[in-house]
Structure 1
Amino acid sequence: MSRSDSKPSTRRDTIAAIATPPGTGGVAVLRVSGPEARSLGLQIFHSTQADFQDFTPRMLHFGTICTPAGNVLDEVLTAYMPGPHSYTGEDVLEIHCHGGDAAPSAVLDLLLQHGARLADRGEFTLRAFLAGRMDLTQAEAVAELIAAPGRAALHLAQTKLAGGLGTRVDALRERLEHLRAQLCLAVDFPEEDVECLPPEDLIREVQHIRNRVDELLAGMERARAWREGVMVVLAGRVNAGKSSLLNALLGRERAIVTERPGTTRDYIEEHLLLDGLRVRIVDTAGLRDPSSDTSDAAAATIPVDEVEAAGMEISRELASRAELVLFVVDGSRPLEPEEQRIARDLAPGRTLAVLNKADQPAAQPDPAATLEQLDLETIRVSARTGTGIQELADRIRARCLRDTGEPDPDAAVPNARQAALLRQANQELKALAQDAVQGVPYDLMGVRLEGACEAMEALTGRIAPQDVLHSIFDNFCIGK
């Protein structure tokens, strides 16, 4: 959705939007912000209190919303928050009506008829940013909080919303500004007896700031799994039990299970929440080559058509991108030569071999021994009886978090835009340190320092071009 051509900083009209998702629900919330929020509310709201004259700030009022003709649209609760002490820094009115589609849409239409404008995506939060109620990292945290896939991501977003990242970035920027002031002294008063930072002290201070920036960037990598989730791919030959295993992990029948090879011809994607970690689990088409040696008579006689071949190619591509591959084999049968070839191509650090059908006697020779010789970790489960499924879920979580560990709820984790600016600042600081070693004049080094400061200012929104603001807030939902 594109924005109006008007600059957001100059638009002070009154906006309105439904702030809750569409669909069936007990309550829907409409939000109105701007100079006419209070007067609009008084025009359409009729209190049940006979002596009602005006909204009491931050108090719920019960009544009805009526059309100019006196027709009642809905019973509602209203709350008025005068600026500047509101979410947007402007006068804000919230109307709590019944949920569903009809009631909130009717109330919104009435607000628009009385002069409000339908809000753009993220315009309420944009106005909060422009009013100085929050910096840009906090504004982005609002969207991250709404999209949080689990509690860990929720805590990380709340830390940013409370100013955790912005405070740290501002502290680093202030140190850079102090360095810039000292360089300016050296440039402007070269013959005067004023304090000037020696090159070795400059290099030391720059390295200290770079270390703090590196810590923030490292935090992003550690938190990636918690913020974005992880992908786990079920891979293996046909009829190994991948679809049955998917159903067992989900606790419901999601994938079709038959004895016919090639039933899963495209990938099936579902999501699990494993103790706060969001897992995107993908069941892929079975890998087989009927021309190869196999004891599976059905697989040997059914040709691989174009659709199944395309599905197998997608399976390989997904497995190459997954944080973890569950290589599923039938533990009641010896490994096929083709399975051994597949296993050799898998990265041990990203693979967990799952021996299905643990409710049946293990094959001889034991497939687990062969897989362990290939450095693959193994686990035995039965998708049919549920044996080992909980242990498998625990093992999946542990393997996906092997390099990241549990989340730090107090971590200030940058998003992709913020990380790009931190890297930009770091590059300028690295070049600045090299210039200091080579004896580059201070006035030229000041250009590097200015570039690092500007990157930090862009991160928190101290300098924020309109196109940057639009790209950020256009990704918000309407009503926030």
Structure 2
Amino acid sequence: METIAAIATPPGAGGIGIVRLSGPQSRAILESLFRPSSASFAGFRPWTLHRGHVLDGDGQRLDDALVVFMPGPRTFTGEDVAEIHCHGGPFLVQAVLQSALRRGARPAQRGEFSRRAFCNGRMDLSQAEAVAELIAAPSREAVRLSLNRLDGLLGRRISHLRQQLEALRGQMCLAVDFPDEEVESLPPAAFAAAVRQVEDAVTLLLRGTKRARLMQQGALVVLAGPVNAGKSSLMNALLGRNRALVTDIPGTTRDFIEEGCDLDGLPVRLVDTAGLRESPEHVEELGVALSREQLDRADAIVLMLDGERLGQTGAAAATCPDPAAAEVLAHAGRCPLLVVWNKVDCCDPAIFPPRWAAGHVAVRLCARSGEGLEELTRQLRDLLLHDAEALPPEDGLAPNARQALALERALDELRRLRQDIETGCPYDCCSVRLDTATAHLDEVTGSNSPDEVLNAVFEHFCIGK
């Protein structure tokens, strides 16, 4: 394979910049562009930093640097790897890269270092994906989930499930090849039970998919309700700064505002929407239409109620007295909904939660003073992670979207396989579904992934990784 080179540190100025090489010519290229500072230097000692000068393409001194040579196969890529740690000015780092390229390396493509690690058996595809997700992790929990997959936890779990299916295949072959012989084969009831066991394990893995998406991409939380209920005030309180304009004039928010924040380790995208009401103004009408679109996209909805306007009678009513709030409640079946009684400094309801909101999680709040904000944050986080938190804490497995799709296809085949067994389908026909389910499990770790799939995975990586 060719020797590749790339800058492994982010763009821009920094204290240190790293240029990484991988391939059979890594050592030779490093020797040609490096001049040691020590007179006793006797060659590169593996895994040891050496100080010296890096030379440019014309052999002129370029920078004072530290270099290290790491022989394969015990490296990230499984090949010989060299790194040059120079000063982090953009020109210097680029000049060091150009020096390596002029000596025989070629520029690395996106994700090529990780792809070589995968091709050389240093990691499976789920681990390679975890590398990119770890770099992009927006929260501590996302880091933990990515590290679990990088350590091979998901790959080992898939390998164990695959072994179970292979054992079933072997026993099924006995029944097909020696139908009249007295050899031990799996009875249909035991066969179906074994398939069900693998089904349950795949289902448990899929339960972590929502958690992975929320932790990696963030949850979309829409603040909705009637005009002047305090949606913008709540957004400012959660952000800790004045982002949304707050006035006493109803309909101040005409367009939705989206900002990111952190709910105790959970990344969230807050959306402040225009109050829902019928308006003769065309601009406000457009804003209300956008608010309704955001409700359809939400992972969770915070229904803001104007406690001062509703008063005690609004909380005691059997049906929701506010048409805007009633409209938001209609979305409660599609995603989690948190009812917030705002302005408790003006009216603290004697009946809470409101009778018409029974069954929904509800909190009291004064958005302007921050009273009740901590409780709101806790309840909102619990709502978003309700399904994901049901996972055993020691499990820590959260497949990404590509892996989840492969697991869903495997699960579908396993369910159909069990149904075929229970209806008396011949074992030789059942073998087709067993093979298909196994192939879908292999897609998770990349054991049988075509180049198109690998290209789609690695093209989203940064060039230096």
Alignment TM-score > 0.5, same fold: yes
Indicate yes or no: 2:460 matched with 1:479.
Answer: no
Does the Cα contact within 8 Å between 1:153 and 1:226 map onto a contact in 2? Answer: yes
Indicate yes or no: 2:253 matched with 1:269.
Answer: no
CA distance in 2, matches of 1:220, 1:417: 10
Does the Cα contact within 8 Å between 2:305 and 2:325 map onto a contact in 1? Answer: no
Structure 2 counterparts to residues 340-379 of structure 1, below 5 A? 340-347=322-329, 350-359=336-345, 361-362=346-347, 371-375=354-358, 377-379=361-363
Q: Secondary structure at the match of 1:35?
A: coil
Structure 2 counterparts to residues 441-480 of structure 1, below 5 A? 441-480=426-465
Describe the shift of the 1:138–1:247 C-alpha distance in structure 2 as closer, same or farther (beyond 3 A): same
- Aligned residue number for residue 395 of structure 1: 379
Cα shift at 1:325: 1.8
Which digits, 9 at most, give the CA deviation of each residue in 1:350-391, with x for residues without a partner?
Answer: 3333344444x328xx59769443335543333333333233
Indicate yes or no: 2:50 matched with 1:61.
Answer: yes
CA distance in 1, matches of 2:272, 2:321: 17
Cα shift at 1:106: 1.9
Does the Cα contact within 8 Å between 1:353 and 1:371 map onto a contact in 2? Answer: no
- Aligned residue number for residue 135 of structure 2: 146
- Aligned residue number for residue 328 of structure 1: 304
Describe the shift of the 1:447–1:398 C-alpha distance in structure 2 as closer, same or farther (beyond 3 A): closer
CA distance in 2, matches of 1:319, 1:280: 13
Using the aligned pairs only, state the percent identity: 49
CA distance in 1, matches of 2:270, 2:149: 29
CA distance in 1, matches of 2:221, 2:154: 31
- Aligned residue number for residue 368 of structure 2: 384
CA distance in 1, matches of 2:89, 2:306: 49
Indicate yes or no: 2:292 matched with 1:310.
Answer: no
Which digits, 9 at most, give the CA deviation of each residue in 1:407-453, with x for residues without a partner?
Answer: 62533222222222222222222222222233332222222221122
TM-score in terms of structure 2 length: 0.89
CA distance in 2, matches of 1:196, 1:139: 39
Does the Cα contact within 8 Å between 1:330 and 1:356 map onto a contact in 2? Answer: yes
Structure 1 gap ranges (5+): 1-11, 291-302
- Aligned residue number for residue 157 of structure 1: 146
Indicate yes or no: 2:264 matched with 1:287.
Answer: no
CA distance in 2, matches of 1:255, 1:211: 47
Q: Which moved more, 1:165-174 or 1:236-245?
A: 236-245
Amino acid in the other structure paired with 2:378: D
CA distance in 1, matches of 2:299, 2:150: 29
- Aligned residue number for residue 398 of structure 2: 413
Q: Secondary structure at the match of 1:98?
A: strand
CA distance in 1, matches of 2:320, 2:183: 77
Structure 2 counterparts to residues 430-445 of structure 1, below 5 A? 430-445=415-430
TM-score in terms of structure 1 length: 0.86
Does the Cα contact within 8 Å between 1:234 and 1:282 map onto a contact in 2? Answer: yes
Q: Which moved more, 1:203-212 or 1:421-430?
A: 421-430
- Aligned residue number for residue 9 of structure 1: none
Does the Cα contact within 8 Å between 1:368 and 1:378 map onto a contact in 2? Answer: no
- Aligned residue number for residue 176 of structure 2: 187
Amino acid in the other structure paired with 2:382: A
Describe the shift of the 1:404–1:439 C-alpha distance in structure 2 as closer, same or farther (beyond 3 A): closer
Amino acid in the other structure paired with 2:84: I
Q: Which moved more, 1:258-267 or 1:237-246?
A: 258-267
Cα shift at 1:98: 2.4
CA distance in 1, matches of 2:196, 2:256: 48
